[in-house]
Every structure is written in C-alpha cells, then in structure tokens.
Amino acid sequence: MSSAAPNNDTETAGYFRPRVMHVPAEKGVVKWMSGDVYSTLAPAGSTGGILGFTDCWVPPGGGPIAHVHKSADESFYVISGAVEFLNGDETFTANPGDFVFVPRGTRHRFRNRTDEQVRMISFFTPGGGEGLWLEGGDDPVPGEEPAFWPAERGIALGPLLSRPEIDLLLLPEAPDFEAPADQA
C-alpha cells in the first residue's frame, strides 16, 4: 500500500500535509506558581485554542485555592504521587495512573497532602486557562526553589481571572486561608 496521495483525489491531499505538533519536554514554558512548577508544552495559541497542556510538579502542601472555571473543562492525569482533589464540597485522592475530569462550572482544587512531590498532567479544553500561570507566574530562578506566595501575591492576579480565556472564579475553602498543607 502506497503512502502517497492519490493523484485524482484532491479531497485527501490535505491529509498528507504535515500538521502534527511535537514539543520536546525541555521546550515547555516553565513558570512557578506559589510553590508549584508548571511546564506548558502546548498553550492555547499553539493549538488554535483547542486545548492547553501543562506538565505539573506539585510540592508537599502545593496546589491552588478552590476555584471554578466558567468556560473550560480541566482534566488531570496523575503520573506520580497522590493528590487530593476537591469536588464541589467533597474530597477524594487521585493516585498514579488516575484520570480526573473537572467539568466547567465545578468548584475544585488539588492539594498535595503528602511529603513527596506529585507529578501530573493538566489540560484545559478549550485552552486558555494556562494563561494564568503563563502570564501571572514567576520565571524560574536558577539555583533557587519556588516559594509559596503570601496572600497578597495571589490577590495581585485578580485582573487576569476575569479575562475571557481564563474566566476563573475563586471560591475558597477554610484551608485556603491557612499555611500550605505541609505546614498546617
């Protein structure tokens, strides 16, 4: 069977045009977000807005405060470690190999309540939510570790939250106002 496009079928010619996106792991845009490390390999702008794809490293105590994405679904795939997820007002633990789908309009957050780093993949559909850390996160500093942010640093992100592609509403829970989980 030939891999060449048929000469008489112009409709199938587009199938043979190279369009696959390949991003080597080390080419992601790395940002620090209150102790977490996010390496975005496919921001919405690179996928025609279809999705945003991020590799996440979450230290003990790490993770965002409870929130809702009003215009996008968010999904997670846990690679290593165990991470607690908030689902409305209930929690569950996701372990390596687990997949978590958070439909838009669902109050959620993740938190590493263990003493080991968690690694997971996160993606938004449609993309755009990753703009929060791409624009509001800190650039890595060689030789340093990312630090948890004081409350005022997180509050400073307020203007980004209402942008149409981010469209995030904060709905904190009591632990969000305490120290990181590993220090509580």
Token duo for residue 156: 């400073």
CB 79 within 8 A of CB 127: no
CB 112 within 8 A of CB 183: no
C-alpha span between 60 and 44 (Å, rounded):
29
Residue 81 has pLDDT above 50, yes or no: yes
Task: Report pLDDT digits (tens) over 126-176.
Answer: 999 999 999 999 999 999 999 999 888 888 899 999 899 999 999 988 766
- What is the pLDDT confidence band of residue 11, given thresholds at 50, 70 and 90? confident
Task: Report pLDDT digits (tens) over 29-72.
Answer: 999 999 999 999 999 999 999 999 999 999 999 999 999 999 99
Report helix, strand and coil shares of the chain as percent, to nearest 5: 15, 35, 50
Work out the widest C-alpha separation in the chain, in whole angstroms: 69
C-alpha span between 50 and 40 (Å, rounded):
14
Q: What is the mean pLDDT of residues 2-31?
A: 81
What's residue 179's pLDDT? 54
Q: What is the mean pLDDT of residues 67-84?
A: 97
SS3 of 110, please? Answer: strand
C-alpha span between 143 and 67 (Å, rounded):
32
Task: Report pLDDT digits (tens) over 86-107.
Answer: 999 999 999 999 999 999 999 9
What's residue 184's pLDDT? 43
Task: Report pLDDT digits (tens) over 102-139.
Answer: 999 999 999 999 999 999 999 999 999 999 999 999 99
Token duo for residue 12: 């199938």
HSE of 51 in the Cβ direction (CA atoms, 13 Å)?
14
Name the burial class of residue 160, with classes exposed (0-12), middle (13-18) and buried (19+) by CB atoms within 10 angstroms of its CB: middle
